[in-house]
Amino acid sequence: MTNYDPFFSRSADVMRESAIRKMGTVLAQAADIISFAPGYPAPDTFAWQDFREIAADLLTGEDGTVLQYGATRGFRPLVESIIAVLAARGIAAGREEIVVTTGSQQGLDLVARVLVDPGDVVLLELPSYTGGITAFRNARARLVGVRQEADGLDFDDLEHVLARERAEGRRVRILYVVPNFQNPTGLLISREKRYLLREWAARRDLLLLEDDPYGDLRFDDLDPANTRSIKADDEDGRVVYLSSFSKTIAPGFRVAWIAAPAPIAAKIELAKQAADLCTGAFDQRMIHEACKRGVLERQVPLLRRHYQAKRDVMSSALVEELGDVATWPTPKGGFFLWVTLPESIDVEEMLQRALAQRIIYVAGSAFFVDGSGRNIVRLCYATPSHEHIVEGVRRFARAVREELAERRIAIPSLSRA
Ligand SMILES: Cc1ncc(COP(=O)(O)O)c(C=O)c1O
């Protein structure tokens, strides 16, 4: 048998399966499992009837470009729709700054390709989105975490980490942030810290990578000024901005975009030519029509209500079942609850017990580049029904109680944050 190990590139050597994808595999194998693991939107919210009509209109055969290769930058009318979406978010972007990508996941990969050399430092929040971690790890970056507070990065730690890495002779290239309803914590970076981040990036001569798939999904009548993107006030050209139609229209279309200073967008275009030539033409046309026909506009308020109700169901169930042992911040938008359990619990070890209860989650350590988070879980409330959320939390709580009992830990009474 041939040993293939010597054939693999150094990049291939560092590739790891995503903890979230792994959970997806578990899920596919057992229909009776309730999943709080992958951050999938609820399929019953998808605008199926609109998609049927749009697809029928597009697939008459009269317009060959619908199923043809297209421009690497993206279908021109869709780029115009994206510019309008950005304008509504306060971002003034020209065509030369936009690249349509095959999901924001490709955006992360392309950014890593054009801005990071092996050994360069990428700063990330502790914790951070696993897909970002994966993209930068595959580029063989040195991943360095910065502590996070309830309102965003801890600036003392940020300065400390930057000074240390630079003193050790390393090139620090980018800070990656998810300011709106972060995956995995659900946290929101405060307005003041957004301002400070921009100012800091200019002063320290770094780029910010702002990843914003959840900004539209805000709850509780939150003032949109609180989700205003960092890019919106980026006078110094320091921000590369990513966003996606995955959470507001549907992830199966794989349509997202990058808005970057023109010279960076031009390089990203070149990297994308090698990756896939262009994002699927049919997908882009579907999304463009969905924007043009008002589907996006109609969906967003419905989604806000849908996910807010699910957040409430999950929070209440958790208070009921685990209020004495678990804590979590209440997210003002997005898909996730970030639940801290007693320190004696190792949630990776608890996974077998959870599986026996037919419930899955993502272990917090998947989101930390420093190996911490062993007693934290990310629970996604977006996909399951209300009934399944309640039943899933009940099962999750049984797994936690069994784990605690086995460890014979006296449960300290926590006051909830
Ligand atoms: C923070 C963040 N960035 C990027 C992505 C990738 O999204 P897309 O479906 O556009 O590739 C996700 C998906 O969950 C995400 O949570």
Per-residue pLDDT, 391: 98
251 lines ligand 1 (CB under 6 A): yes
| 104 CA to centre of ligand 1 in angstroms | 6
Q: Tell how far the Cα of 242 is from the centroid of ligand 1, in angstroms.
A: 9
pLDDT at 319: 98
The pLDDT score that the predictor gives to residue 417 is 44
Walking along the chain (417 residues) 10 residues at a time, the average pLDDT comes out as: 90 78 67 92 98 98 97 98 97 98 98 97 98 96 97 97 98 97 98 97 97 97 96 96 98 98 98 97 98 97 98 98 97 98 95 94 96 96 98 98 81 52
The pLDDT assigned to 413 comes to 55
* pLDDT given for residue 27 in this prediction: 67
Q: How far is the CA of 5 from the centre of ligand 1 (A)?
A: 31
Q: Are 209 and 178 in contact (CB under 8 A)?
A: no
pLDDT tens-digit readout, 225-239: 999 999 999 999 999
List every span in the chain annotated with CATH 3.90.1150.10.
Answer: 5-46+298-406
Q: Name the CATH code of domain 48-295 (choices 3.40.50.300, 3.30.565.10, 3.40.630.30, 3.40.640.10).
A: 3.40.640.10
Instruction: Tell which atom from ligand 1 comes closest to the C-alpha of 335.
Output: 16
Per-residue pLDDT at 375: 97
Determine the atom of ligand 1 nearest the C-alpha atom of 102. Answer: 11
Task: Identify the CATH number of the domain defined by range 5-46+298-406.
Answer: 3.90.1150.10
Burial class of 181 by CB neighbour count within 10 A (0 to 12, 13 to 18, 19+): buried
Q: What is the pLDDT of residue 11?
A: 84
Q: Where in the chain is the domain with CATH 3.40.640.10?
A: 48-295
- C-alpha–C-alpha distance, residues 177 and 208, integer Å: 7
